Amino acid sequence: MGNETAVKFELNQSTWTGSADSNQNALDFLRGLNLKSIKSGCRVGDCGVCTILLEGQPVRSCMLKVKDLEGKSVLTLEGLNQDGKMHPLQESFMETGAIQCGFCTPAQILTAKAFLDKNPNPTEEEVRSSLKGVLCRCTGYVRIVEGVMRAAARMQGKKLDDFGPLYLDLPEKFADIHIPEPYLRKDGREYPLPPLVYTPPSMSKTDVVNQTPKKVDAQKLVTGKPAFTDDFRPEGMLFGAILTSNVAHAHIRSINIEKAKALAGVRAVLTYQDVPRVKYTSGGQSYPQPLPYDQVSLDHKVRHVGDRVAVVAADTQEIADKALQLIEVDYEMLEAVVDPREAIKDGAPIIHDEEDTEGIYDAKHNIVYHIEAQNGDPDKVFAEADHVVAGEFHTPKQQHAQLEPHICITYFDPDDRLVVLSSTQVPYHVRRIISPLVGIPIKNIRVIKPRIGGGFGGKQEILLEDLCALLTIKTGRPVRLEYSRRQEFTSGRTRHQHYIQYKVAVQDEIVTAVELKLLADTGAYGTHGLTTSMVGGFKGLTLYNAFDSRFICDVLYTNTPTAGAYRGYGTMQELFALEVLMEEIAEKLGVDVVEFKRKNWLKLGEPMHMAKKLGEGREGFDQSMASSGLSQCVDIGLKATRYYEKRKEYKNQSGTIRKGIGMSIALHGSGIAGLDMAAATMKMNDDGSFNLLIGATDIGTGSDTILAQIAAEELGVTVDDIIVYSSDTDFTPFDKGAYASSTTYISGGAVKKTAAAIKKQIQEQAALMLKWDDPEKLTLKDSRVVSPEGKSVTLQEVALSSLHQLNQHQIMATESHRSYVSPPPTAAQFAEVAVDTETGEIKVERLLMVVDCGRVINPITAAGQVEGGMAQALGFAHCEETYIDEKGQILNPRFETYHTYLANEMPPTDVIFVQTDEPSGPFGAKSIAEISIDGVAPALVNALHNASGVWLHDLPLTPEKVWKALHPEKRHEGKQ
């Protein structure tokens, strides 16, 4: 590279000597030494996931050069577990469930090590402060902090408590509910609490399900072994780079790539002139995907800042990036429109004026979808009601902010089949969608999903795979393509911005009619615009389920980054507006808000009136609720927060700082009724263990572990006896992917069916061995098959017999599962705040979610999902917004300016489960991941009102907005 010099430093307690480019980025250099634990998340020093220890201090390797390492000591996660023995931090992280996606885990552990070396007996506040430089988007930091605290105790030789959930019986009467003292948080301490699990005495007992075995992939993640897409690099790999538009709306008059092609080391440059014009939509959804197919791989028109223009492959990343600068694009500039309220007006710029896109509802007014659904006669009911209350609300474009950027590697295998290694939530959809784009039959495409460093819906999208494959086809060589962090903001996906209007009729304290009007901003392309809006309409009209209901929605194109799938999927925006409005209605009526909601929320067995009219992209199926712990969730939350006591206390506050408490309720769903399907395959090995092959994608949710628990429960073995292999379209059976809160419920249903089929075969083989006439009466427990008389054989003996002796055959099975119902989990969310009335700043003092997700398969991983969901929702409600100017430029496209909650900023975040037994779910389970994000925003707004008396309908709750609401007489002066 021109700067090769001798380098010598201590690396993981051994001396490293060699020659290297002294100005090479240290992150790339160290990863090139096969130290894959060091991750790349932003490359500008914002996220901290590239942290190493330099001379014992945590530093961001992306901000160092190789010359900065000279003569110094470097420690990476690979050097932490010497002689095969794990460090106490690694052990503790596995035990406490601190690992979700695992992408930030190496940096968290190294940072914690440096801290504990200096402060071996820290407080929780000190731990949180030490971790503030390493972002985590999955966990909410609760289990990470607990992992560090537990490691500190372990390193001091203290006796360790059994860490895990606290199980309590659920009494029938509210007065008999016992809340353990720590969960009342009377002293305000910010210690992590394990989840509480309340169980009705009538629920059957389980052995593996409802327990907390370590995650099946925890050890490889906690030791930093190669697991993620970028950890695997084929020989001869080229590096790709995407040229994206720096303007929001323009035709490409001409594009000159000659200088880029002439650059030494460039192997391919592709523009719209070089690839077929095949129309598609990038949202990874089931076939047939909803129209319109309004995208092509590369187009002659750009519709937002960050839109695709050209793609390059070169020998190095530096050469590829330099080639982008040599591409000359002549744009015919077009007027941009960034506000959906302006985009719908006559004369607004037409964003999709192409003639080859079918299915746009009204291109001239930028309306991609128009949705109307009605039940009963709401106009008649509104006219007759005692009270009609309306409200308008706004929610922002939130970024997924997953720490692993979108990344893809493509190559041809020895049989000339295209292999796509991708950080995707939907491997089977990727294969189907890119096939026509790259001109390769599905049978000749293999998609492999390695570990995913966070997804949250943003990786339910085909964003890189087609371009990466086209470069491989052009060059015949492996190609790696990755979004920069800036491109994550400009070219990835966001949450849909919503403008919401609710109108609610009330008669004798009963909600009798609800109208929901929605204006949804899908950005430059339609992708998930139809389905998120229909889900939002369905859930937003079902929580209180008035018979007379109406949904009217327009989904608008704008010249802004495309919106896509995001955890909560339309529901969280609508429930925010609805739950705030219900609190306002209760206040106007002078009634208790909790009892007002209790009178009106969806009840067991009650038909969901909009379920059929508002399916997901198509007609749905009739639904009703077969299990619900909502009333108990609310009652437990009221007691745990001392809600009524505090509301009474806060009525007579004085001073600058005012406290408030708010609550909300929520429901979600478990998969898409009648559409989602998953399959599982199992086979029995010689030693009585089992291979479980699943297409379900673990994106940090712990699904590999919970699916193993389901199989182990059915077969009477431990999780250690289940070897899980996930998401390879050549070897694992079909699964629609990780979305719609469906993995536990749908994929889990497939695993349970498959394990049951395996169990039957084992019983039949054991009956031959035991000479027993009735196989069904044989019991599988503790890796043995036992007859009613007490005779038994081990599973290993059964396996050997079936493979080598009696009736020789392979014990194996494949089963598929789908459901025509989508049982809703339910929850009560509580938020406590302190508001500074002089500055408008809100300090969130506590979040508590009490959740009914059926039987909780693994309370620790489930609690992690709830804690992480609340953290994302808190950002959505309080501080996260994508700022876009009138020219379509994003003003805060990096973590430094797009603020997500840090470890030292998170409030105490507690989780309580109320178990119910869902008859359609595997061992009674429903979903958990998405409902965790649905309730924070309204609870926060309601707490703000309780503290200050003001209502805010516009998220996020920035200090400026709060201050203006508190001081309307000064609203034109700006914040003081």
d(CA 830, CA 940): 8
Q: Give me 916's structure tokens.
A: 């119910």
Q: Is the pLDDT of residue 484 over 90?
A: yes
What is the average per-residue pLDDT within 251-274?
98
- The rounded Cα 569 to chain-centroid distance in angstroms is 11
Q: Give the bridge partners for 252, in sequence order.
A: 331
Q: What confidence tens digit (pLDDT) does each residue in 54-95 have?
A: 999 999 999 999 999 999 999 999 999 877 889 999 999 999
Q: Within 13 Å and on the Cβ side, how many CA atoms surround 319?
A: 19
What is the average per-residue pLDDT within 931-941?
98
d(CA 803, CA 93): 40
Q: Give me 858's structure tokens.
A: 């693994």
Q: Give the bridge partners for 941, in sequence order.
A: none
Q: What is the structure's pLDDT at 592?
A: 98
What is the average per-residue pLDDT within 272-276?
97
Identity at 38, one-letter amino acid code: I
For the chain, what's the residue count? 976
> 99: how many CB neighbours lie within 10 A of its CB?
30
Q: What confidence tens digit (pLDDT) does each residue in 569-598 have?
A: 999 999 999 999 999 999 999 999 999 999
The mean of the pLDDT values for the chain is 96
Q: What confidence tens digit (pLDDT) does each residue in 600-623 have?
A: 999 999 999 999 999 988 899 999
Identity at 388, one-letter amino acid code: V
Cβ pair 385, 507 in contact under 8 A: yes
Q: What confidence tens digit (pLDDT) does each residue in 877-931 have?
A: 999 999 999 999 999 999 999 999 999 999 999 999 999 999 999 999 999 999 9
| pTM assigned to the model | 0.96
* Sign of the four-CA dihedral 555, 485, 429, 742: negative
Which letter, b or e, does each residue of 251-284 get, where b requires 16 or more Cβ atoms within 10 Å of its Cβ?
ebeebebeebeebeebbbbbbbeebeebbbbbbb
Q: What is the structure's pLDDT at 710?
A: 98
What is the average per-residue pLDDT within 291-317?
98
- Beta-carbon contacts of 173 under 8 Å, excluding residues fewer than 6 positions away, are none
Q: What is the structure's pLDDT at 944?
A: 98
Which one, of 229, 257, 259, 254, lies nearest residue 243 by Cα?
257
Which one, of 126, 468, 531, 489, lies nearest residue 298 by Cα?
468
What is the average per-residue pLDDT within 396-413?
98
Q: What confidence tens digit (pLDDT) does each residue in 355-374 have?
A: 999 999 999 999 999 999 99
